[in-house]
Amino acid sequence: MSIEIRLPTALRAFADKQEKIVVNGKNVGDALDELFTTHPRLRQQLMAADGKLRSFVNVYVNDDDARDKQGLLTPIKEGDTILIVPAIAGGR
Amino acid sequence: MAELELTKAELARYDRHLIMPEVGPAGQKKLKNSSVLCVGAGGLGSPLALYLAAAGVGRIGIIDFDVVDESNLQRQIIHDTPSVGTSKLASAKKRLNALNPHVQIETHEARLTSANAVELFKQYDVIADGTDNFATRYLVNDACVLTGKPNAYGSIFRFEGQLAVFGLKDGPCYRCLYPEPPPPGLVPSCSEAGVLGVLPGVIGTMQAIEALKLILGIGRPLSGRLMLYDALDQSWRTLKVKKSPTCPICSENPTIKAPIDYEAFCGLKEKPMSTPEISVQDLKAMLDKKEKFVLLDVREPHEYELAKIPGSTLIPLGALPERLAELDKSAKLVVHCKMGGRSARAVALLREKGYDATNVAGGINAWSESIDPSVPQY
C-alpha cells in the first residue's frame, strides 16, 4: 500500500532534498515511522520528546488535519497523501 | 461618522468596480467608508497596500518602524531606489498618495506591541498581517480575536506561501492552526533563508482580495481553510482548519483575555543557557594573535560561497548533530553564521555535548560591517 508524504521546502534538507517520499503503513504514525527510518534527521524536526507531533508542525491526510481525526492513529489508505505543514512566519 | 458619498472623480476612477453588480456604487461606497490596517510595509504589505489604495479603501493604516534597505527592493515594490535610507512609512505614503489621492493613509511609526495593539486594531475594520516573526504573528492574532476584527493572514518562506482569514466569529484563529510557535532559531527567517521576490506579490495580493471580500460582504471568506501556495510546483492546496474547542483565546472559555508577553511565549527571552559570545573585534584580535582555535561556520554551502571568513570550517547547522565527530573535543570552537542566530543554537548544542564553543555576535555581516568590508554582505 503506497502513501505519498510531501515535505515542505524547509524540511527537504533533512531528506536528501526530496519533496515526496513514498511509504507504507496503516496509519499516520506507521507512515511517519517509515519516513524516519529512511530519513532519521526528520524525527527530531517533527516529533517532540514525548513522542507527539510538535505543536508548530501540522500533518494533513489529504485535506484533513490529523489532529482533528485520530492524530498519529488516523488510518490511511492507498492513494492518500500525507502533507507536512510547518508554521512559517516570513512576510517582509 | 456620516457616510461619505462618492465624488464625480471617484465615480470615474472606479468605473470597472461600479459596472459589476457585486460591487456597484453601493459596494464602492462601502470601500470608501472602510478601513484596513496593514501590519508591516514589507514584502506582503507592499502589494496589499497598493491594491487596497487602488481599489478605493477609504482609510489605510500602516504600522512599521523600519527604514528602506537596498535588499528590500527585490520584493517590496511599494518602495523604490530613491527611497533607500528613508522611513518605510514615508516612502509607502508617498507612493500611495500618488496612486490614489482619494484615500487617506495613516502611518503609525512604531513597533506593534502588547501595549498598543488592541487600541490600534479598534480603529480599523480589517487587519492584514504582513509581519515577519512568530511573536508579532501571535500578537496580531490575539489582538484580532480580542477586538473581534478579522485577520487577512499571509506568510511566506522561500517558494511557499500560506493564506487564510482568521478571527471570524465562527471560524478558527491562528492558534487553532498552530497552538504554539517553534522554538527560536529552528525555523530560519526570510533574511536567513531567502524568499523569491515575486512570492510576497502573490500572497499579499491574495490578502488584499480577502480584505476586499470581507468589506464588501461578497463571496466566501477564506475562513476555516488554509491555502498553501507552492511557486516551484505552481500549485495551490486548500486544507481544512477547524476552530479548536480548547483554543486558549477564541474558544468558549478563553484563558487569554489580554495580550500576553509574546517574546516570552516564543522563547525569545530565555537567553540560551551558557552561550558565551565574543564580538567580531574579539575574533579579529584572536586571529591576529594567531590564537589556537577552530572557526566553525554553520551556514549553508551556498552562503559560504557568497562570503566567508578565511580559515573557517563549514558544517551547516542542520548537519551538525551527525558530524560532531569531525570536531576535536579538546579544541576551542568559535562559531559564526550570517547574523548570530543559528550559531547561537549551534553553540548551545555543542556545549550540551561537552565542547568548548563560543558564539560570534552579529555573524559574518558584522564582520563585513566592522572588520573586512571586502567580504560581501547578503
DSSP code per residue over B277-327:
EE-HHHHHHHHHTT---EEEE-S-HHHHHH---TT-EE--GGGHHHHGGGS
Q: Say yes or no: ipTM exceeds 0.90.
A: yes
User: At A20, is the pLDDT very low, low, confident or very high (cuts 50, 70, 90)?
Assistant: very high
Task: Give B358→chain A minimum CA distance, Å.
Answer: 24
Q: Which three cell numbers stand for residue B221?
A: 471568506
Nearest to A88 among B40, B129, B157 (CB): B157
Total domains in chain A come to 1
* Average per-residue pLDDT for chain A: 91
Any CB–CB contact under 8 A between A92 and chain B?
Answer: yes
With CB atoms and an 8 Å threshold, state whether B157 touches A90. Answer: yes
C-alpha cell recorded at residue B2:
456620516
Across the strands, what pairs with B335? B296, B359
In the stretch 57-76 of chain A, residues with CB closer than 8 A to chain B read: 58, 60, 63-65, 68
Give the mean model confidence (pLDDT) for residues B164-175: 97
Cβ contact A65–B72 (<8 Å): no
Residue B46's closest CA among B145, B124, B154, B168?
A: B154
- Which pLDDT value is given to residue B271? 55
First to last CA, chain B: 49
Please report whether residue A92 resides in a domain: no
**Has residue A54 been placed in a domain?**
yes
Question: Is-catalytic flag, B173?
Answer: no
Per-residue pLDDT tens over the stretch A48-75: 888 888 889 999 999 999 999 999 999 9
Domain, as residue range, for A31? 3-86
Q: Is residue A30 part of a domain?
A: yes
Q: Which domains does chain B have, with CATH numbers?
A: 34-265 (3.40.50.720), 277-370 (3.40.250.10)
pLDDT range class, residue B65, cuts 50, 70, 90: very high
Instruction: Please indicate if any CB of chain B lies within 8 Å of the CB of A52.
Output: no
What CA–CA distance (Å, rounded) separates B250 from B255?
9
3-class SS string, B30-76 = HHHCCEEEEECCCCCHHHHHHHHHHHCCCEEEEEECCECCHHHCCCC
Out of A14-18, A58-62, B270-274, pick the least confident. B270-274
In this structure, of A43-52, B134-143, B238-247, B351-360, the range with the lowest mean pLDDT score is A43-52
DSSP B81: G
Give the pTM.
0.83
Low-confidence winner among A21-25, B123-127, B189-193, B355-359 (lowest mean pLDDT):
B189-193
User: Which strands make up the sheet holding B160-166, listed edge to edge?
Assistant: B104-109, B59-64, B35-39, B126-129, B151-157, B160-166, B225-230, B235-240
Predicted confidence band of residue B139 (pLDDT cuts 50, 70, 90): very high
pLDDT of B275 higher than 90: no
User: How far does A1 lie from chain B, in Å, by closest CA?
Assistant: 24
Q: What is the pLDDT of residues B103-113, one digit of tens each?
A: 999 999 999 99
pLDDT: which is higher, A14 or B27:
B27
Report how far residue B198's alpha carbon sits from residue B75's, in angstroms, rounded to the nearest whole number.
6
Mean pLDDT along residues B16-31: 97
Q: B66 near B111, Cβ under 8 Å? A: no
Of the spans A75-84, B312-321, B337-346, which averages the highest pLDDT?
A: A75-84
Residue A91 inside a domain? The answer is: no
DSSP state of B238: E
On whether any CB of chain B is under 8 Å from the CB of A77, the answer is: no
Kindly report which listed range (A47-56, B170-179, B305-314) carries the lowest average pLDDT score: A47-56
CATH at A69: 3.10.20.30
